[in-house]
Amino acid sequence: MLNLVALVLGLALWAALAAANVESLPGPAEVGRRFGELASDGTLAEDALASLRRVFVGFALGTLAAIPVGFLMGWYAVARGLLEPWVQFFRTIPPLALIPLAVVLMGIDETPKIFVIFLAAFLSSVVATLQGVVDVDRTLINAARVLGARDHTIFLRVVIPASTPFILVGMRIGLGSAWATLVAAELIAAQEGLGFRMQQAQLYYDLPTIFVGLISIGVLGLLMDRLLLFAERRLTGWQERR
């Protein structure tokens, strides 16, 4: 109910600002009409699918690479000492700043677009996984060793379950970073995608199309985040919540 109230209030504020002609802001009705036009001719579906494909592939690859690297860094001090400086170094460099390098090295097809999204998701997830492993209660590990558990059993039965909440939070942050990087990634000679459509609309000062792109990205990102939140609740049902 509170979510519905927030939505109604947001739409009302938007309509009021548009009615006051604030910076030629298009209203909900105008954006809705443009949404219908783009949806009816198939443009919106094609752009949404193209952007979803890039985000999903980059996010999935980034997460799949980050989890084992994070576990390795968290479990072995030597690996942490060797890899953590590089992880922190690249975290200070925005993925968008690597676009020129990605274009030079990888060309202008889908590879550089997916690479910058991959990097955004990877860096968020690897730090969260590392922190999850490091923060595992030593008492649990010592108790397992006293009971005769070997390292691989401790890792599978204690470390992975205890660090799962951190991993899922990192995935949610990585998903947000992936969507945030999408628009810039689609600067790289894209011919379709929500970010591409917004950039084309900017050239013609087509504000309704820009709003359609923004809202579509927000809705798709929210739906994917809710799926991750659902998985988090199913996988960490043992965790106390408020």
Residue 109 within any structural domain of the chain: yes
Residues 6+ apart with CB under 8 A from 231: 168
The domain tally of the chain equals 1
- Which structure tokens are listed for 49? 């699918």
Residue 77 within any structural domain of the chain: yes
What is the tens place of the pLDDT at every residue in 187-201?
776 788 888 888 888
Full domain range(s) for residue 113: 57-190
Query: What is the pTM (predicted TM-score) of this model?
Result: 0.85
CA distances from 129 to 45, 64, 89, 100, 164 (A): 35, 11, 17, 29, 8
Residue 68 within any structural domain of the chain: yes
Residue 104 within any structural domain of the chain: yes
Going residue by residue through the chain (242 aa), what tens digit of pLDDT does each one get?
Answer: 888 898 889 888 888 888 877 667 888 888 899 999 999 988 899 999 999 999 999 999 999 999 999 989 988 889 889 998 998 898 888 877 888 888 888 877 888 888 989 998 998 899 898 988 888 888 888 888 888 878 788 888 888 888 888 888 889 888 988 888 888 888 776 788 888 888 888 888 888 999 999 999 989 988 998 888 888 888 776 666 65
Q: For position 177, which CATH number holds?
A: 1.10.3720.10
Residue 91 within any structural domain of the chain: yes
